Amino acid sequence: MIPKEIPLRNDKLFRLAMCHRSSTDDPVPDSYERLEFFGDSVLGLVIAQYLYEHHLTWDQGMLSKAKSSVVQEGPLAETALRLGLDAYIELSPSEESTGGRTRPSILADVFEAVIGAVYLESGMEVARWFVLEQLHDYLMLVSGGDVSPNDHKSKLQEVAQATWRKTPQYRITKESGVAHERLFSVQVLVGDVAIGEGTGRSKKEAEQAAAHDALELIERNRAG
């Protein structure tokens, strides 16, 4: 049964949007990957148009930062969880056992695949409404002026420079996963001291996660 918040009636399309490549014999026609690729483009266009039309004084740099903040993995994965999509994802037993159902990269992918499915069934206007409805809170956050609310690396650099007069350094501690689903683990150091760790499906995402972890540690120490 398709969640009621999703304007989609085609069960076959919805099942395709939920099908991870690990659960198929032929991932090209039978997994969500092609649909996710398409939905990613629809998502990017909808958010870019919204920002272009609603922020007439923002230059290209501001628009680009705001768009990147909204369409990145974190907000998309959180939206997929809120919609309950994790309960519908089809995974292989091995992928299931390693936490694939709650992995942010997979959750973000299935949300984008759903966007693609909505577009294919009902066209751009319905897809636009769905995207803007589901990502409204994130759009309001960047519209308030903080166009990079998830740029933890820049924030950590400011804190580290002000506190220790040092620039944080990032190092990869582990790479795992197959080629299409790499997972990177990263530590962030100030001097020789590791102050945060994070993982992500790209080096950039892992570094942002490590910086976020470090900022939380610094905040806890200040509060204590």
- Tell me the catalytic residues: 40, 112
Backbone angles phi, psi at 183, to 5 degrees: -130, 125
- What distances in angstroms separate CA 12 from CA 2, 67, 139, 147, one per listed residue? 11, 31, 31, 37
How many angstroms from the chain centroid is the CA of residue 35?
17
DSSP assignment, residue 57? T
CA–CA–CA angle 66, 219, 199 (5° rounding): 60
DSSP string computed for 108-168? HHHHHHHHHHHHHHH-HHHHHHHHHHHTHHHHHHHHTT-S-TT-HHHHHHHHHHHHHS---
Minimal CA–CA distance to 70: which of 102, 122, 31, 111? 111
Minimal CA–CA distance to 46: which of 120, 104, 115? 115
